[in-house]
């Protein structure tokens, strides 16, 4: 039987750099990647954050610094309180950060 972690690692390209977005290759729901963790379906980017970075504090949301909802690159993720996330989202409407093609 394949472990949850092994299954997770097959759902994105592992040869991408830290700067690039890591698009989720598994199921997508409302633009966000979703992943079955063996118990229930969870957000792929939250699973990635906990896998690579550590536990997400209670009542924290994991924000995409790259604004790419299907990205699961832990370097592009930041655990913040919901109010910070909403403030950032409001700010991003004014100053939209875009990935430049390389
Ligand atoms: Zn990204």
Q: Is the pLDDT of residue 59 over 70?
A: yes
List, as ranges, residues with CB under 5 A of the ion ligand 1: 21, 66, 68, 71, 73, 76
Confirm whether pTM is higher than 0.85.
no
Domain ranges of the chain: 4-98
What is the CATH number assigned to the segment(s) 4-98? Answer: 3.90.75.20
Using CB atoms within 10 Å of the CB of residue 33, give its burial: 0 to 12 exposed, 13 to 18 middle, 19+ buried. Answer: buried
Give the model confidence (pLDDT) of 24-55 as tens digits: 999 999 999 999 999 999 999 999 999 999 99
Cα–Cα–Cα angle for 54, 5, 74, nearest 5°? 40
CA of 76 relative to ligand 1 center, distance in Å: 5
Backbone angles phi, psi at 60, to 5 degrees: -100, 150
Per-residue pLDDT at 32? 97
CA of 62 relative to ligand 1 center, distance in Å: 12
- Helical segments of 38-81, H only: 44-52
Q: For residue 57, what pLDDT band results from cuts at 50, 70 and 90?
A: very high
Q: Is the pLDDT of residue 97 over 80?
A: no
CA of 19 relative to ligand 1 center, distance in Å: 8
């Amino acid at each position: 039987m394949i472990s949850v972690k092994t299954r997770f690692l097959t759902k994105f390209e592992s040869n991408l750099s830290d700067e690039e977005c890591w698009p989720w290759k598994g199921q997508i729901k409302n633009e966000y990647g979703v992943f079955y963790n063996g118990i229930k379906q969870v957000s792929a980017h939250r699973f990635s954050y906990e896998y690579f970075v550590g536990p997400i504090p209670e009542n924290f949301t994991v924000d995409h610094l790259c604004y790419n909802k299907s990205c699961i690159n832990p370097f592009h993720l930041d655990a913040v309180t919901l109010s910070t996330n909403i403030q950032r989202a409001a700010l991003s409407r004014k100053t939209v950060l875009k990935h430049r093609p390389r």
